[in-house]
C-alpha cells in the first residue's frame, strides 16, 4: 500500500508528562509485551488475534501497566512469525483486519493504555512487492531497495545469515544472476537504507501509523540498517581486533546509522508525541549514548543484550554453563548499565521477551517449591530498577519453559534451522536439544494460560504451538482468587512503583557487591530512600544491613508472609523484600 504524507494528527498531547524536562511519560511507564500469536484466539484457528486482544484488554488494564508493545501484526508469510513483513500497511490475515485494528486501538486508548508497534525495517519479506519487483530485473525501479551483488564479481564476501542452515547471509537468485543480502533468513532480504527513496517509504509508513494514533515503535535490529555497502572482506582477525570478535558489533556499526536515525527523528518522531525504543543488538555501554542522548535527537530508549547473554558457554549456541550464572556478574552488568544512564539518557530493563526463554526458568527456579518465590523475586528486580521495565506477558503468572523433547515440537525458524545446521555438520544433536530446553525462543512463545479449561482457554481449536501442561495450576483464573499469587504480586508492585516515583527516578546504589547470593540496592537519597533486598539463592541467607542504615520494620512489599528485621535479616529462599529507609 502507498502511504500519504503525515498530517501529524496526534501531535498535541494529553500525556502524563511531568513538569521537569527530564521527566517523561515513557520513563514512568510499565510496558507490557504481548506476543499476539499466543495471547488469545477469538476464532478457533489456533492463532491468537486482534479480537482476542480486544476481549482481554480489561485484564491488561487490571495489571496497572501503561503501554502495550505488540510484536509485528502486519501482513506476513510468517517465516519468522511476522518479522518478515510483506505489507507494512496491512494486518496479518490470521490476526484480523484493519477494522479490527482500529477497534483495538480505540479500546486501548479508552482504557488509558498506549500502543507500541514493532517496526521491522532492516528487512522485509521476500514476498513484499518491493522485493518481487527488485528481483525481477536489474533495471527495475525497485532494484536499489535491496542489496544485490552481481555474480560476475564472483562470490560476495561472507556475511552471516542468522537463520540459515549454511550460515550464509547471501542467497543466489538466478532470475537476475545475482546474490541478495539477508542478515536473517533468505525470506528476510535486507532493505537498502542508502537509497533515499526507501527511507522515504519507511518514514511515510511510520507517519501513517502515527497518524492513526499509535504511541510508539519498538525498532527491530535497528542498528543493522546501515552497512558498508562496498561489502569488504571481513576476517576473523578484523572482527577480533575491531569488533570484539562478534559479527553483531560489525553489523551494527554502519557508517550512516546515526544520520538515518536523525533523519527519522526529523521526518517522523519529532512530529508526534510517541516513544521509541531500539532493539540494541550490538550496542555497548560506550555506544549507547549515540542512540538515546536527548540532544542528538534520535531515539528515546534502547535495550541491550549483555544481561540476557550472561551464563551461556562461549562458542556454544545458548548452552548454559553447568555452574549456572554468576550473581556477582549479573549485578555488575545491571549496575554498569544503570551508571551508563545515570546522568544522561534513559535505560530499559527486561529479563524475558519473545526472543528469550521464560525468565523464571532462565534466571529464577522453576522447581515447584521455588516457582512462586523466585518469579516474584525477578518481578521485584524488574520493577525497582531505574529504567523503564519491559515486562513479558505470562511472566506475571510465573509461566515457565515448556522444554520440548523433540525438534518436531519446535515452530521457531531459529531452533529448526540450527538443528539442521548441527545435523549437517555431524554435531551433537542431543546436546543441542538439551540446551534448547533452557534457551529456545519457543519456551517464551507458548499460549498464554487463561484458565484450567482445555488449551488453557487460549483457543477452542488446535493451538499453533503446544500449551504448557502446567496450565491447570498456573493460569489467570486460579491466580485471580489467591491474594498471594504471582499475578496479584505483580499488580501490587506495579502500583508501588507508580506511587513511589523514587523507584522510577531515584539514584541506584549497589550494596555488598561481592555477595554471591544476595542482590541488594538502595533507590533514592536522603529522606526518600528505599532498600531492595533479593535473595537469588535457594538457600536461607542471613544478610546484614549496612552500618548506619535503619529501616521501617514493616516492608513496603515482601514475597513471603514474614520478615525478621533487626541488625541482620534472615532471608528465606528467593525472598524479595522492599523496605523504607528511615
Q: Which residues of this chain interact with ligand TEU, rule CB under 6 A?
A: 80, 83, 120, 162, 184, 220-221, 279, 281, 354-355, 414, 441
C-alpha–C-alpha distance, residues 532 and 391, integer Å: 19
| Catalytic-residue membership of 279 | yes
Cell of 15: 500525556
Alpha helix positions (H), 283-403: 289-292, 306-309, 327-340, 359-363, 371-383
How many Å separate Cα 19 from the centre of its chain? 30
Active-site option among 279, 298, 412, 572:
279
* Cβ density class 183-202: b for 16+ within 10 Å, e for less: bbbbbbbbbbbbbeebbebb
We find the least distance from the C-beta atom of residue 309 to ligand TEU, in angstroms, to be: 9
We find the least distance from the C-beta atom of residue 154 to ligand TEU, in angstroms, to be: 28
Strand partners, 565: 569
* CA dihedral of 429, 430, 431, 436, whole degrees rounded to 10: 90
Phi, psi (rounded to 5 degrees) for 542 = -95, 130
Beta-carbon count within 10 A of 289 CB: 16
We find the least distance from the C-beta atom of residue 393 to ligand TEU, in angstroms, to be: 15
Pick 314 or 548: Cβ nearer ligand TEU? 314
We find the least distance from the C-beta atom of residue 444 to ligand TEU, in angstroms, to be: 10
We find the least distance from the C-beta atom of residue 414 to ligand TEU, in angstroms, to be: 6
Pick 142 or 163: Cβ nearer ligand TEU? 163
We find the least distance from the C-beta atom of residue 527 to ligand TEU, in angstroms, to be: 42
SS3 content of the chain, % helix, strand, coil (to 5): 35, 15, 50
Taking alpha carbons only, the member of 441, 4, 15 closest to residue 216 is 15
Q: In what order do the strands lie in the sheet with 568-571?
A: 541-544, 568-571, 564-565
Phi, psi (rounded to 5 degrees) for 330 = -55, -45
C-alpha–C-alpha distance, residues 36 and 40, integer Å: 7
| Catalytic-residue membership of 220 | yes
First vs last Cα of the chain: how many Å apart?
A: 60
Pick 75 or 537: Cβ nearer ligand TEU? 75
Pick 50 or 120: Cβ nearer ligand TEU? 120
Pick 28 or 414: Cβ nearer ligand TEU? 414
C-alpha–C-alpha distance, residues 280 and 287, integer Å: 10
Give Cα separations from 18 to 213, 427, 525, 564 (angstroms): 21, 56, 20, 38
Pick 66 or 80: Cβ nearer ligand TEU? 80
Pick 82 or 573: Cβ nearer ligand TEU? 82
We find the least distance from the C-beta atom of residue 40 to ligand TEU, in angstroms, to be: 20
C-alpha–C-alpha distance, residues 59 and 247, integer Å: 41
Task: Characterize the bridge pairing of strands 170-173 and 148-150.
Answer: unpaired
We find the least distance from the C-beta atom of residue 79 to ligand TEU, in angstroms, to be: 10
Give helix then strand counts, H and E, for the chain. Answer: 19, 21
We find the least distance from the C-beta atom of residue 185 to ligand TEU, in angstroms, to be: 8
How many Å separate Cα 266 from the centre of its chain? 25
Pick 43 or 409: Cβ nearer ligand TEU? 409
Active-site option among 80, 164, 211, 220:
220
Pick 276 or 559: Cβ nearer ligand TEU? 276
Catalytic residues: 220, 279
Amino acid at each position: 500500500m502507498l502511504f500519504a504524507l503525515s498530517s501529524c494528527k496526534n501531535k498535541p498531547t494529553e500525556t502524563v508528562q511531568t513538569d521537569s524536562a527530564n521527566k517523561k511519560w515513557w520513563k514512568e511507564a510499565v510496558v507490557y509485551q504481548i506476543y499476539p500469536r499466543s495471547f488469545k484466539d477469538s476464532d478457533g484457528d489456533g492463532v491468537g488475534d486482534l479480537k482476542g486482544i480486544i476481549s482481554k484488554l480489561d485484564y491488561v488494564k487490571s495489571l496497572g501497566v501503561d503501554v502495550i508493545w505488540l510484536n509485528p501484526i502486519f501482513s506476513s508469510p510468517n517465516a519468522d512469525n511476522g518479522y518478515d513483513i510483506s505489507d507494512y500497511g496491512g494486518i496479518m490475515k490470521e490476526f484480523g483486519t484493519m477494522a479490527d485494528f482500529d477497534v483495538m486501538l480505540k479500546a486501548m486508548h479508552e482504557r488509558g493504555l498506549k500502543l507500541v508497534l514493532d517496526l521491522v525495517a532492516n528487512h522485509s519479506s521476500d514476498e513484499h512487492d518491493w522485493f518481487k519487483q527488485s528481483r525481477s530485473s536489474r533495471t527495475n525501479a525497485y532494484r536499489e531497495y535491496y542489496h544485490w551483488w552481481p555474480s560476475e564479481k564472483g562470490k560476495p564476501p561472507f556475511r552471516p545469515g542468522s537463520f540459515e542452515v549454511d550460515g550464509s547471509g547471501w542467497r543466489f537468485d538466478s532470475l537476475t544472476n545475482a546474490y541478495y543480502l539477508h542478515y536473517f533468513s533468505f525470506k528476510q532480504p535486507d532493505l537498502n537504507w542508502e537509497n533515499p527513496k526507501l527511507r522515504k517509504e519507511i518514514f511515510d509508513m511510520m507517519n501513517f501509523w502515527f497518524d492513526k494514533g499509535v504511541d510508539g515503535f519498538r525498532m527491530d535490529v535497528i542498528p543493522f540498517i546501515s552497512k558498508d555497502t562496498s561489502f569488504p572482506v571481513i576476517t576473523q582477525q578484523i572482527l577480533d581486533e575491531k569488533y570484539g570478535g562478534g559479527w553483531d558489533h560489525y553489523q551494527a556499526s554502519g557508517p550512516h546509522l546515526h544520520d538515518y536515525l536523525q533523519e527519522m527523528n526529523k521526518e517522523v518522531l519529532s512530529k508526534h508525541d510517541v516513544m521509541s525504543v531500539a532493539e540494541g543488538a550490538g550496542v555497548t555501554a560506550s555506544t549507547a549514548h549515540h542512540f538515546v542522548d536527548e540532544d542528538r535527537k534520535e531515539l528515546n530508549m534502547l535495550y541491550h543484550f549483555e544481561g540476557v547473554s550472561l551464563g551461556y558457554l562461549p562458542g556454544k549456541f545458548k548452552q548454559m554453563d553447568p555452574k549456572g550464572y554468576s550473581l556477582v556478574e549479573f549485578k555488575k552488568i545491571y549496575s554498569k548499565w544503570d551508571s551508563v544512564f545515570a546522568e544522561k539518557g534513559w535505560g530499559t530493563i527486561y529479563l524475558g521477551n519473545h526472543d528469550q526463554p521464560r525468565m523464571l526458568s532462565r534466571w529464577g527456579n522453576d522447581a515447584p517449591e521455588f516457582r512462586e518465590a523466585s518469579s516474584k523475586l525477578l518481578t521485584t528486580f524488574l520493577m525497582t530498577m531505574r529504567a523503564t521495565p519491559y515486562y513479558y506477558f505470562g511472566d506475571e503468572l510465573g509461566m515457565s519453559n515448556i522444554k520440548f523433547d523433540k525438534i518436531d515440537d519446535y515452530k521457531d525458524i531459529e531452533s529448526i534451522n540450527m538443528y539442521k545446521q548441527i545435523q549437517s555438520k555431524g554435531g551433537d544433536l542431543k546436546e543441542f536439544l538439551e540446551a534448547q530446553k533452557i534457551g529456545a525462543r519457543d519456551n517464551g512463545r507458548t499460549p498464554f494460560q487463561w484458565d484450567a479449561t482445555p488449551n488453557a482457554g487460549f483457543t477452542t481449536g488446535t493451538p499453533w504451538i503446544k500449551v504448557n501442561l502446567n496450565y491447570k495450576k498456573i493460569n489467570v483464573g486460579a491466580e485471580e482468587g489467591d491474594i498471594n499469587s504471582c499475578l496479584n504480586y505483580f499488580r501490587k508492585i506495579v502500583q508501588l512503583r507508580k506511587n513511589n516515583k523514587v523507584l522510577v527516578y531515584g539514584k541506584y546504589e549497589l550494596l555488598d557487591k561481592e555477595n554471591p547470593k544476595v542482590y541488594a540496592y538502595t533507590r533514592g537519597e536522603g529522606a526518600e530512600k528505599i532498600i531492595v533486598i533479593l535473595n537469588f539463592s535457594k538457600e536461607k541467607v542471613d544478610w546484614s544491613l549496612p552500618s548506619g542504615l535503619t529501616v521501617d520494620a514493616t516492608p513496603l512489599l515482601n514475597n513471603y508472609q514474614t520478615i525478621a528485621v533487626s541488625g541482620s535479616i534472615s532471608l528465606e529462599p528467593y525472598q524479595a523484600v522492599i523496605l523504607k529507609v528511615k
